[in-house]
Structure 1
Amino acid sequence: MTVHFVGSGPGAADLLTLRAARLLSEAPVVLYAGTYLDGEVLAHCRPDARLVDTQHLDLDDITAHLVDAHRRGLDVVRLCSGDPSLYSALTEQTRRLDAAGVPWDVTPGVPAYAAAAATLGAELTVPELVQTVVLTRTQARSTAMPDTEALARVAGLRASLVLHLAITRIRVLAEELSVEYGADCPAAVVAFASRPDELVLRGTLADIADQVEAAGLRHTAVIVVGRALGVRSADVACSHLYDPARDRSGFTR
């Protein structure tokens, strides 16, 4: 039997992929992170599914549940918040499953940064302004960051920047980012993106920390920084792809 790592998306139950919803409706065992998951997502599960909240389990405990289900001939869905390609411990879990001879696969989900950008109504890649998006985090009480990915170095790109798992350090981060981006650079925080309790804060690097602290945000939020957030339609250059002057003679319907 198979362990299915499934991206649960940013939280809203109707932002699951069709494949994710199908796997949930079929799986007899579902492991999920209760800290980050909207309970409505679990409504996709079959009525008799065994649900295991992993928020208080370590990696050994989680792996034991996955291996045990496999040995009992049961498929398992391991729900990951957002998309499994980002900060999901996928590598650690699948390495252990490989060692135990347990097959697995991955179903992508809507990543949190995409849901945040949708809420903000923002395109993070604006022609002739910014064409790169950096997804990263910072180090606090967490695994060390590689030296080559220090925030000051990343900020030097002046790309659209999305910070995960960093909301409790926003004041220090905003000050550090201001060196490269400027204190007037647009910044936004989206907490609980796509959920009923979604919270959006908009400002600049000069004042976004004040807003976050006033709101008391401590987790489940992404920080978005970059000039793309402040663009008005009149400021946007035309993309070459849609430019009326582009030669389309070589294209057929």
Structure 2
Amino acid sequence: MVHIVGAGPGDPELITVKGKRYLQEADVVIYAGSLVNPALLDVCRDGAEIYNSAAMTLDEVIAVVEQSEKSGKMTVRLHTGDPSVYGAIQEQMDAFRKRNIAFDIVPGVSSCFATAAALQQEYTLPGISQTVIITRNEGRTPVPEREKLRSLAAHQSTMCIYLSIAMLDQVVAELISGGYAPETPIAIVQKASWPEQKIVRGTLATIVEKTRNQGIDRTAMIVVSRCLGADYELSRLYAPEFSHGFRKASR
């Protein structure tokens, strides 16, 4: 059995209990290079084989897994955040199926949620936004025309934009072209939950200049939303005049 484990956003304590247990028991660990905090590997048992997949091709990763399985060893494939979001795991799972290698997936805390924690911000505020879009700007990996930032911006919802900080000026231009006002709040969080976490806040009109010379060029989340610092309606869930299955209205 190969265990595909989400390592979480960086803080070693944000891996799941199950994910940590698998790491402690693994004979072979293949981890996603610079994206995974190497402190997580401290829990691996003595003698475990550790591979950094940043220097490996897909075929090389699969070959290590296949050999491990033939030898009766337990393998953990350690991915950053939650492996279902920009984790490139589908091609690995398809390769496992072709070779009749059994696997399971342990979800993890995605960096967009660690970013919300760092910002001390709820993404879904009543009357402001009830939708969160997880997306990225087009780079070497193409994005369908209907999913380009300017198209998604028409929804005016909260957007968490991955893998795009190096193209921040393009991101801002696309968002404004799609309908966000230049004064829309935006926040950049680099390495959310890591000790070196850095936060820059601004508006679409100011954020490019504010991040200049900040050394933010990778592993950063972009959040654009009117929920950042906005006035909002209180939730009906806790309103005294609102009844639900667990509480009757008090007035």
The aligned counterpart of 1:145 is: 143
The unaligned stretches of length 5 or more in structure 1 are none
The aligned counterpart of 1:238 is: 234
1:144-190: per-residue Cα shift (whole Å, max 9, x none)? Answer: 11222111111110110010000100011112212311111110111
Supply the RMSD in Å over aligned alpha carbons: 1.4
Q: Verify: 1:22 aligned to 2:21, yes or no.
A: yes
The aligned counterpart of 1:227 is: 226
Q: Verify: 1:89 aligned to 2:88, yes or no.
A: yes
Measured in 2, the distance between the counterparts of 1:193 and 1:146 equals 28
Shift of 1:59: 0.9
Measured in 2, the distance between the counterparts of 1:107 and 1:215 equals 35
* SS, match of residue 10 in structure 2: coil
The aligned counterpart of 2:2 is: 3
The aligned counterpart of 1:157 is: 155
| Structure 1 length-normalised TM | 0.94
Greater displacement, 53-62 / 206-215: 206-215
Measured in 1, the distance between the counterparts of 2:219 and 2:47 equals 29
The unaligned stretches of length 5 or more in structure 2 are none
Structure 1 stretches of 4+ moved >2 Å = 250-253
Shift of 1:247: 2.1
Greater displacement, 42-51 / 99-108: 42-51
Shift of 1:211: 2.5
The 5 Å alignment of 1:74-113 reads 74-113=73-112
1:205-245: per-residue Cα shift (whole Å, max 9, x none)? Answer: 111112333212221111000001122xxx22121222111
Measured in 2, the distance between the counterparts of 1:81 and 1:135 equals 16
Q: Indicate conservation of the 8 Å contact 2:158/2:223, yes or no.
A: yes
Q: Aligned match of 1:168 in 160, 166, 169?
A: 166
| Structure 2 length-normalised TM | 0.95
Measured in 1, the distance between the counterparts of 2:220 and 2:247 equals 44
The aligned counterpart of 1:68 is: 67
Which letter maps to 1:52? Y
Measured in 2, the distance between the counterparts of 1:230 and 1:153 equals 24
* SS, match of residue 202 in structure 1: strand
Identical pairs, percent? 37
Which letter maps to 2:132? V
Shift of 1:43: 1.1
1:61-113: per-residue Cα shift (whole Å, max 9, x none)? Answer: 11111111111111110011000110111111000000011000000111000
Which letter maps to 1:124? Y
The 5 Å alignment of 1:194-213 reads 194-213=193-212
Measured in 1, the distance between the counterparts of 2:233 and 2:210 equals 32
Measured in 2, the distance between the counterparts of 1:217 and 1:56 equals 23
Greater displacement, 209-218 / 48-57: 209-218
Greater displacement, 83-92 / 206-215: 206-215
In the alignment of these two chains, the number of paired residues is 247
